[in-house]
Chain A
Amino acid sequence: MSILTDQETVTAFIQESKDHLDGIEDDLLAIEEAGSEIDLERVNKVFRAVHSIKGGAGFLGLEKVKELGHSSENVMGKIRSKELIPTPAIISALLDAVDMLSTLINRYESSNEADISTHLARLGAIISGEPVPDNAPEADKASGNVSGINNDRDNTAQSLELERFKVEKSVVDEAFEAGSFVFIVEYDLEKDIQKQEKSVEEIFDTLRGPGEILGSNIDLTLAGLEEQISAQGNSLFILVATIMEKDLLAGFSGLDPSHIQQVSPEDIGDGKTCPSLSKDARAVAPVTQLEKNIGPSTPAVEQKAKDDPMPSSTPNASNASPPAANRQENSLRVNVKILDNLMTLAGELVLTRNQFMQAVSSKRIQGIDNICQRLDLVTSELQESIMSTRMQPVGNVFNKFKRIVRDLSQKLGKETNLIIKGEEVELDKTIIEAIGDPLTHLVRNSVDHGLEMPADRVAAGKSAVGNLRLTAFHEGGQVMIAIEDDGAGINTEKVKAKALSMGLFDAVALEAMNQAELAKLIFLPGMSTAKEVSDVSGRGVGMDVVHTNISQVGGSVDIETDLGKGTLITIKLPLTLAIIPSLIVTAQGERFAIPQVNMIELVRIPASKVKDRIEKLGGALVMRLRGELLPLVRLVDALGIQEKRYEDLKVGECNLDRRLQVADRRTKDLDDQSDANDEGEMNTSDGERRDLATDRRKSRLSAYNILVVSAGDYHYGLIVDQLLDSEEIVVKPLGVHLRDCKCYAGATVQGDGRVALILDIVGISTLMKLKNVAKKVQEQTSRLADKSGQLADIQSLLIVRNSPQEQMAVPLDLVSRIERNRVDDIKITGGRKTINYRGGSLPLFSVDEVVKVSAPLQGRATFYTVVFMVNGKEVGMILSEVVDVVTGDFQIDEITHRQPGIMGSTIITGEITLLVDLFGVVAFLMPDWAEAMNTHLPISQSANIMVVEDSPFFAKQIIDFLKDAGYTCYSAADGVEALEILAREKTNIDLILTDIEMPHMNGLEMTKKIREDKMFADLPIIAVTSLCGEVAEKRGLEAGINEYLVKLDREKIIKTVRKCLAH
């Protein structure tokens, strides 16, 4: 047989074999799971797959592949005939053989030199019913085993004579005449009978099926069959006549072919002796040698190989696609439907181009509009279709974990129940490839370090079988992958100790961290808490690499752990990398793209507020945002862009101020331009641009544009000169000379043909060492939050106007989004104003319908709609102007201007500002809605709620709507008073709503005090605060607060109160 006929055939064979092998693994695992309830269809499938590979290999002269395939096939044959129950050990041997096959096929040129003896020995042992080593045999261990087998055989085999079988020569001759083959079959009492839990009778029965038993060395008519065998040197010899060939008989009887000796008519010619088995056995003593013989020289095998209806690779070979050495990696399977669709679209594109060219050459301008529209459509569809060809189900990665988890559990002596969900979720090919390794690491980690040993699990009151859940699902335009185990969890004390010993953090900082923060530390370099670097988890990939790898594809990792209960790791991934939505910004006139996934919000700080909002912390700039501090970095600094106009300026504080002046002078012309941009953005009504939009009226010159971006586990602010537009950009890689630039994630070509660089948000933060700043900032924030009263009760208000003279404000937290609409689009139906919005209609209200204020819309073409939720429904408030967002501690006067629709008034920037009660306006105009708002609350279940709030204004607001909802309220001005009331009323109080920032005793302290008393351990405590932020929230929850809510969000508060009371 010649090696390698032609390249095409080989490629086709390899491709096909890989396809077969891919499927086999899953099937084998399923077969293992089914255990004794053998699923014939699956077994057949594997059988056929191995058979095809064997056939093809034989054709191409890949001897080793053929041999291994052959042995595997034999084992499968026995499983098929239900003689062999697929135990984990057997499946392991098969899986390893399949792996080896895969390796051999990948390196087919040198496959004939490979050593596959251990695999063959294992499979051989299975066929002959010998005990199989549980784990993959290390080469030396296995060979030791194998030689043991042979020694056995040498000892037990003995010379035989025909009379041993108590059979007449004529009987044997008859069998030959009938065209049967005659074999001597040797069973070892211990290995083949007792260990297999078979009885001697069963063996005889089995052999009677396909053939005729001519005789044996024991007397079936006598009792004590096993004793008879042991008297015969532990060997049972049976003389069988059958039409089966040796191989098949071996498969059928469950014996190694070496235990079966074919008898030829000549052998019994003199009627005296049979060839001695022992001789045969000795001849094949070293199994390796034996196995070498099986392949080409055993007639039965050769026969089989020839008889194979030339493997399916042959027909494929003729029409196989052009070969490529590593086509597996570079080729992709695409659904034919998608391909057809692409063809159609390409046709459309050609058609459109023709039309376009015609229109241009004939200078007909009229049609061009239509053509452009069509071009736009076709292009988007084409883009979408092409993108979808890159999408691959995440199951491609998930499915390999079945094997990994199985092997690993076996190795570690654990039992793991792997639950996979969401295999059908699709991700871009690049991402699928990128997450393979990190996921494998995480899964291995979960099995290795997460799940405990069965005994420990039982001791901990869990089931012995550990659960590992792998889930993929869509959330918010991203794909989430969750790896959840119910194991031991991460010992955060250990993590803490490690971090301390490595000097990553000081003790104080570590103490301030909560569980989640501590758990996350394992993603830092060098923080592996595994004491031993086992080959299981220590494959050169640390958790930090997992983190880096996932960040590189624009994803993020989160970890939640509960000591003793388990760990949940969540990976957030973008759907695709090739085309991403991004925001275009400028710095010193240069354009950069920032991926939207990295962006949290846009903040614009007007010049007048810069002093209040931006501070310095240990030399680093920080920004105050809703009570939290954020590290700030200027894009020009991050990229080292020299400020061309003032290159002589020193960097630092003074530079900032100067820069503002610079902006004052030069931005006039740019402003007109960006005004136009703003218009465009308003129409797209993206919530993220709220700040930009709301502030634009107020001194847009000299304002700071800050992008709050996420660098994985912390946020920072990036100061840019201008925000241009949001665009879908095509990501292109940068050349090799630029790979060391950590600031860029790639580049993109803009509409004008110029290149814009895509910023790597994580890279910039690393470069600028923002992590340290973020850490400092967090400490600072924690400290501030600790000092009660230091941070005032901060409210964010949206300043709006209907006329220049009257200033109004609405609590920003209630606003879902702000839009700009055209007055012409307002429809008046049944006396109510609405506007069409995303296929539905948005009811519009106006403050002047309730309160005597100036009407909006006077002499205007456009207006602003502040959208908020009432009763789960979106409602818009018409306003002429949206001025600003102010944040601060406002003294609210709730008496002077109080009326339906107005909560009160306050002074903002020196002007009296009416606080609009959005719900009040709706309730006044639409009493039915307001009723609906309350009637769905079960008033019957009236309860006593204590409201702890230092500001009488807020207290009144909350108490008012709680009363409306049918609850009885107690009021306390601070924690001290609340504790007094609680001591008096005890269990009369069903729930506490509390502010956090209060004089005397703040909400946190109060909660801690309350929780100290067992009686109130389950008393629901809800924080209603403006001090919202992750850190604040974490502290609250740690103190024992059940829920964290934003002040004045009436609906949410009522909902939460009801939810808490229902418990």
Chain B
Amino acid sequence: MDQEQEEIVEGRELALFQIKDTIYGVDTRYVQEINQNTRITIVHRAPDYVRGVINLRGEIVTVIDLREKFGLESVDINEDMQVVVVRYKEENIGLLVDSMLDVIAVRQKEISPPPANLDGTIGNYFEGVYQMKDDLVAILNLNELLKLQYTL
């Protein structure tokens, strides 16, 4: 009984997606939906990491190019790409990912802190890693990832 309770408390669901060769996970609590609408309108003079905006049923949603965020090279939109819409500070924000993988349940204690070699700004973007069978899942820390880089 106690054991079960703990599992419920500690259990988390991660939505997994891939960018380049790495698998990332984002807590499903934040995920509003996964959208295949990649008709992104470019916003010129926006920060580099902003890929553009999409229309999400009438709402204008900013799409973040995670490749830019992770210091990878941005690529043209292809049909595998999807937008993970997450809720952050009362606003829906889209994360552009190379492809969606799966949703898995994990336990909190199975999550270990991010490896020390992931330092610096990019290191802050992750709250921890989860070891899947063959792969390592980097779990996003949305607060750090979506924090405004320069504020007025």
Taking Cβ atoms with an 8 Å cutoff, the residues of A that contact B are 590, 639-641, 732-738, 740-744, 746-747, 749, 753-757, 767
Is there an interface contact between B39 and A753, defined as CB atoms closer than 8 Å? yes
Is there an interface contact between B41 and A756, defined as CB atoms closer than 8 Å? yes
| Given A641-B44, A740-B152, 5 extra CB contacts under 8 A | A734-B43, A737-B50, A738-B43, A741-B45, A754-B41
Instruction: A66 to B58: give the CA distance in the assembly, Å.
Output: 49
Instruction: A1056 to B149: give the CA distance in the assembly, Å.
Output: 61
**Could you mark each residue 41-84 of chain B with 1 if its beta carbon is under 8 Å from any beta carbon of chain A, else 0?**
11111110010011100111110100000000000000000000
With a CB–CB cut-off of 8 A, which chain A residues contact B60?
732-735, 746-747, 749, 755
Instruction: A641 to B43: give the CA distance in the assembly, Å.
Output: 10
Q: Which among A641, A737, A744, A756 is the interface contact of B47 at CB below 8 angstroms?
A: A737
Instruction: A740 to B148: give the CA distance in the assembly, Å.
Output: 10
Is there an interface contact between B50 and A738, defined as CB atoms closer than 8 Å? yes
Instruction: A757 to B52: give the CA distance in the assembly, Å.
Output: 10
Is there an interface contact between B43 and A740, defined as CB atoms closer than 8 Å? no
Q: Which 8 A-B pairs have the closest CB atoms?
A: A735-B62, A639-B44, A755-B41, A747-B60, A749-B55, A732-B60, A737-B62, A755-B55
Is there an interface contact between B41 and A743, defined as CB atoms closer than 8 Å? no
With a CB–CB cut-off of 8 A, which chain A residues contact B55?
749, 753-755
Is there an interface contact between B42 and A590, defined as CB atoms closer than 8 Å? yes
Is there an interface contact between A735 and B93, defined as CB atoms closer than 8 Å? yes
Is there an interface contact between B43 and A757, defined as CB atoms closer than 8 Å? yes
Q: Which among B46, B47, B58, B64 is the interface contact of A749 at CB below 8 angstroms?
A: B58
With a CB–CB cut-off of 8 A, which chain B residues contact A733?
60
Instruction: A415 to B43: give the CA distance in the assembly, Å.
Output: 53
Is there an interface contact between B58 and A738, defined as CB atoms closer than 8 Å? no
What's the nearest-Cβ distance from chain B to residue A738, in Å?
5
With a CB–CB cut-off of 8 A, which chain B residues contact A640?
44-45
Instruction: A553 to B125: give the CA distance in the assembly, Å.
Output: 37
With a CB–CB cut-off of 8 A, which chain A residues contact B89?
736
Is there an interface contact between A743 and B58, defined as CB atoms closer than 8 Å? no
Select the residue from A736, A743, A754, A755 with max chain B CB neighbours within 10 A. A755
With a CB–CB cut-off of 8 A, which chain A residues contact B148?
736-737
- Nearest B residue to A731, CB-CB: B60
Is there an interface contact between A755 and B44, defined as CB atoms closer than 8 Å? no
B10 proximal to A (CB < 8 A): no
Instruction: A734 to B152: give the CA distance in the assembly, Å.
Output: 17
Instruction: A639 to B44: give the CA distance in the assembly, Å.
Output: 5
Is there an interface contact between A741 and B46, defined as CB atoms closer than 8 Å? yes
Instruction: A753 to B53: give the CA distance in the assembly, Å.
Output: 12
With a CB–CB cut-off of 8 A, which chain A residues contact B146?
737
What's the nearest-Cβ distance from chain A to residue B74, in Å?
14
B33 proximal to A (CB < 8 A): no
B91 proximal to A (CB < 8 A): yes
Instruction: A743 to B39: give the CA distance in the assembly, Å.
Output: 21
Instruction: A757 to B45: give the CA distance in the assembly, Å.
Output: 12
Is there an interface contact between A740 and B150, defined as CB atoms closer than 8 Å? yes
Is there an interface contact between B41 and A737, defined as CB atoms closer than 8 Å? no
With a CB–CB cut-off of 8 A, which chain B residues contact A743?
44-45
Q: Can you offer 24 A-B residue contacts whose CB atoms are under 8 A?
A: A590-B42, A639-B45, A640-B45, A641-B44, A732-B58, A732-B59, A732-B60, A734-B43, A734-B53, A735-B53, A735-B93, A736-B62, A736-B89, A736-B148, A737-B47, A737-B64, A738-B53, A738-B62, A741-B43, A741-B46, A746-B60, A749-B55, A749-B60, A754-B41
Instruction: A767 to B45: give the CA distance in the assembly, Å.
Output: 10
Instruction: A825 to B70: give the CA distance in the assembly, Å.
Output: 65
What's the nearest-Cβ distance from chain B to residue A824, in Å?
42
Is there an interface contact between B53 and A755, defined as CB atoms closer than 8 Å? yes
Instruction: A754 to B38: give the CA distance in the assembly, Å.
Output: 10
- Nearest A residue to B44, CB-CB: A639
Select the residue from B55, B91, B150 with max chain A CB neighbours within 10 A. B55
What's the nearest-Cβ distance from chain A to residue B1, in Å?
36
Instruction: A639 to B146: give the CA distance in the assembly, Å.
Output: 24
Instruction: A490 to B41: give the CA distance in the assembly, Å.
Output: 48
- Nearest A residue to B40, CB-CB: A755
What's the nearest-Cβ distance from chain A to residue B62, in Å?
4
- Nearest A residue to B149, CB-CB: A737
Instruction: A640 to B58: give the CA distance in the assembly, Å.
Output: 27
What's the nearest-Cβ distance from chain A to residue B137, in Å?
25
With a CB–CB cut-off of 8 A, which chain B residues contact A749?
55, 58, 60
Is there an interface contact between A737 and B39, defined as CB atoms closer than 8 Å? no
With a CB–CB cut-off of 8 A, which chain B residues contact A732?
58-60
Q: Which among B45, B54, B64, B152 is the interface contact of A755 at CB below 8 angstroms?
A: B54
Is there an interface contact between B39 and A754, defined as CB atoms closer than 8 Å? yes
- Nearest A residue to B90, CB-CB: A736
With a CB–CB cut-off of 8 A, which chain B residues contact A737?
46-47, 50, 62, 64, 93, 146, 148
Instruction: A754 to B42: give the CA distance in the assembly, Å.
Output: 11
With a CB–CB cut-off of 8 A, which chain B residues contact A756?
41
With a CB–CB cut-off of 8 A, which chain B residues contact A742?
45
Instruction: A757 to B93: give the CA distance in the assembly, Å.
Output: 17
Is there an interface contact between A734 and B62, defined as CB atoms closer than 8 Å? yes
Instruction: A741 to B55: give the CA distance in the assembly, Å.
Output: 19
Is there an interface contact between A757 and B50, defined as CB atoms closer than 8 Å? no
With a CB–CB cut-off of 8 A, which chain B residues contact A590?
41-42
What's the nearest-Cβ distance from chain A to residue B69, in Å?
11
With a CB–CB cut-off of 8 A, which chain B residues contact A767?
45
Instruction: A755 to B45: give the CA distance in the assembly, Å.
Output: 16
With a CB–CB cut-off of 8 A, which chain B residues contact A738?
43, 46, 50, 53, 62
With a CB–CB cut-off of 8 A, which chain A residues contact B93?
735, 737
- Nearest A residue to B152, CB-CB: A740
Instruction: A74 to B55: give the CA distance in the assembly, Å.
Output: 60
With a CB–CB cut-off of 8 A, which chain A residues contact B64?
737
- Nearest B residue to A747, CB-CB: B60
Instruction: A781 to B59: give the CA distance in the assembly, Å.
Output: 46
**Could you mark each residue 119-135 of chain B with 1 if its beta carbon is under 8 Å from any beta carbon of chain A, else 0?**
00000000000000000
What's the nearest-Cβ distance from chain A to residue B120, in Å?
21
What's the nearest-Cβ distance from chain A to residue B135, in Å?
30
What's the nearest-Cβ distance from chain B to residue A423, in Å?
35
What's the nearest-Cβ distance from chain A to residue B41, in Å?
4
Is there an interface contact between A735 and B42, defined as CB atoms closer than 8 Å? no
With a CB–CB cut-off of 8 A, which chain A residues contact B39?
753-754
With a CB–CB cut-off of 8 A, which chain A residues contact B91?
735-736
Instruction: A733 to B146: give the CA distance in the assembly, Å.
Output: 18
With a CB–CB cut-off of 8 A, which chain B residues contact A746?
60
**Could you mark each residue 79-108 of chain B with 1 if its beta carbon is under 8 Å from any beta carbon of chain A, else 0?**
000000000010101000000000000000
Instruction: A740 to B47: give the CA distance in the assembly, Å.
Output: 9
What's the nearest-Cβ distance from chain B to residue A379, in Å?
14
- Nearest B residue to A750, CB-CB: B55
What's the nearest-Cβ distance from chain A to residue B106, in Å?
29
Instruction: A15 to B97: give the CA distance in the assembly, Å.
Output: 48
Instruction: A754 to B40: give the CA distance in the assembly, Å.
Output: 8
With a CB–CB cut-off of 8 A, which chain B residues contact A754?
39, 41, 55
What's the nearest-Cβ distance from chain B to residue A761, in Å?
15
Instruction: A743 to B46: give the CA distance in the assembly, Å.
Output: 9
Instruction: A694 to B13: give the CA distance in the assembly, Å.
Output: 63
Select the residue from B41, B50, B89, B152 with max chain A CB neighbours within 10 A. B41
Instruction: A578 to B5: give the CA distance in the assembly, Å.
Output: 49
With a CB–CB cut-off of 8 A, which chain B residues contact A740?
47, 150, 152
With a CB–CB cut-off of 8 A, which chain A residues contact B53?
734-735, 738, 747, 755, 757
Select the residue from B39, B41, B45, B58 with max chain A CB neighbours within 10 A. B45
Select the residue from A735, A736, A753, A755 with max chain B CB neighbours within 10 A. A735
Instruction: A754 to B54: give the CA distance in the assembly, Å.
Output: 7
Instruction: A590 to B46: give the CA distance in the assembly, Å.
Output: 15
Instruction: A757 to B47: give the CA distance in the assembly, Å.
Output: 16
- Nearest B residue to A752, CB-CB: B39
Instruction: A754 to B55: give the CA distance in the assembly, Å.
Output: 6
With a CB–CB cut-off of 8 A, which chain A residues contact B46?
737-738, 741
Instruction: A755 to B62: give the CA distance in the assembly, Å.
Output: 11
Instruction: A986 to B55: give the CA distance in the assembly, Å.
Output: 74
With a CB–CB cut-off of 8 A, which chain B residues contact A741?
43, 45-46
Select the residue from B44, B47, B58, B64 with max chain A CB neighbours within 10 A. B44
With a CB–CB cut-off of 8 A, which chain B residues contact A734?
43, 53, 60, 62
